[in-house]
Homo-oligomer: A and B are copies of this chain.
Amino acid sequence: MMQPPPAEPGMREEEVDTPALLLDLDAFEGNLDAMAALLAEHPVKLRAHAKTHKSPVIARLQMERGAIGQCVQKVAEAEVLAWGGIPDVMVTNQVWGARKLARLMALARISRVSVCTDDAAQVAAIEAAAEAAGVRIPVLVEIDVGAARCGVEPGPPAVELAERIAASRHLTFGGLQAYHGSAQHIRAPERRTETIAQAADAARRTVEQLRQRGLDCPVVGGAGTGTFRHEAASGVYTEIQAGSYAFMDADYARNEEAPPFRHALFVLATVMSAAQPHIAVVDAGHKAIPTDSGLPLVWDRPGVSYAGASDEHGKLTVEDPSLRPRLGEKLRLVPGHCDPTVDRFDWYVGVRKGRVESLWPVAARGAMA
């Protein structure tokens, strides 16, 4: 069941029912503008990652500022975007299974859809699905640029797979997917620089080898909020796949040279218990604000720490009892990791200058298939 919205337009922020997913619209729009300005200096395009926001509304706001399309991780996310009118959606992931591929091909009738692969058997399955649906789609080869997760080795194995795609009647070779996920969260800027330089070298070498075999590589995609300035300046990446930049989270802010974006996403929580002098308990535990990338921060309340999350309780501690939030008080929490936090809610509550301005559904909430 979809949960009812926790607010109505016009309400004051203090009236919003909790826990709620709050979007500070001034900060959010500022982040979208800042990314557009930063990328304008480079010959790259933004293909923003919708696994963060899961919203056709936000996708459209990104595209109004120059993004050429959207990325997703799952077919079910691609459906929500395509059904919501987004004209260009790339699945930056492998898709396995005839039912999922048939759903993806059905979308190719209403939007440009593309998908990644790292296996010849997957290429054959995608070709069969495209043929059955009577469509033709671009397929990218994912190369492992150091994250040791998905992707074939750069160089000859990637070229071989690209040739197989290009030789498939209902597929076109769409380019290289060269995302280094774990690099996003490396704390030291010089180590991030070095890691992405190596990834860019691997991509560049593969593009050259493709060219030697007569294959043009229209796209080299990758990058996230932690590293995009390096990929943008590399001269080899053509599409930047950042997502978190729109919201920012506590984990990205912990990088030594944090990205130039403001915290725009919060979980609004209420103090529901304050029975002990050094403890206040809020109604947002890790079911509301996942802790996979660390605990949340308490916004704008020096001396108050979010010290522990259980399922439905967030335990705030203070060293000085006079700083303890009072029973019933509403507090903004900065998520440790924005992506899974968004996916816990059905609604964005957009606020500006202390008032609720908009309600947008997290339309691809739970779209994991």
The chain A residues found within 8 Å of chain B, CB to CB, are: 1-3, 6, 17-19, 51, 73-74, 76, 80, 93-97, 99-100, 118-119, 121-122, 144, 148-152, 181, 270-276, 279, 281, 283-284, 286-288, 290-292, 309-313, 315, 327-328, 339-340, 343-346, 361, 363-369
Q: Are B369 and A344 in contact (CB under 8 A)?
A: no
Q: Are A181 and B369 in contact (CB under 8 A)?
A: no
| Copies of this chain, tallied across the complex | 2
Q: Which residue of B lies closest to A49 (CB)?
A: B311
Q: Are B313 and A368 in contact (CB under 8 A)?
A: no
Contacts of A344 in B (CB 8 A): 366, 368
Query: Given that A119-B275, A275-B118, A290-B292 are known contacts, is A315 also in contact with B149, CB under 8 Å in the complex?
Result: yes
Docked pose: A339 CA to B367 CA in angstroms: 19
Q: Which residue of B lies closest to A72 (CB)?
A: B312
Q: Which residue of B lies closest to A293 (CB)?
A: B286
Docked pose: A287 CA to B364 CA in angstroms: 13
Q: Are A340 and B96 in contact (CB under 8 A)?
A: no
Docked pose: A283 CA to B364 CA in angstroms: 16
A148: which of B121, B279, B283 is its contact (CB, 8 Å)? B279
A119: which of B80, B118, B273 is its contact (CB, 8 Å)? B273
Query: Given that A286-B292, A287-B343 are known contacts, is A281 also in contact with B328, CB under 8 Å in the complex?
Result: no
Q: Which residue of B lies closest to A343 (CB)?
A: B287
Q: Are A281 and B150 in contact (CB under 8 A)?
A: yes
Some 6 contacts from A to B, beta carbons below 8 A apart, are A3-B367, A73-B311, A94-B281, A119-B273, A287-B340, A292-B292
Docked pose: A262 CA to B17 CA in angstroms: 38
Q: Are B99 and A312 in contact (CB under 8 A)?
A: no
Contacts of A73 in B (CB 8 A): 311-312
Contacts of A100 in B (CB 8 A): 17
Q: Are B144 and A275 in contact (CB under 8 A)?
A: yes
Docked pose: A366 CA to B364 CA in angstroms: 14
Q: Are A369 and B19 in contact (CB under 8 A)?
A: yes
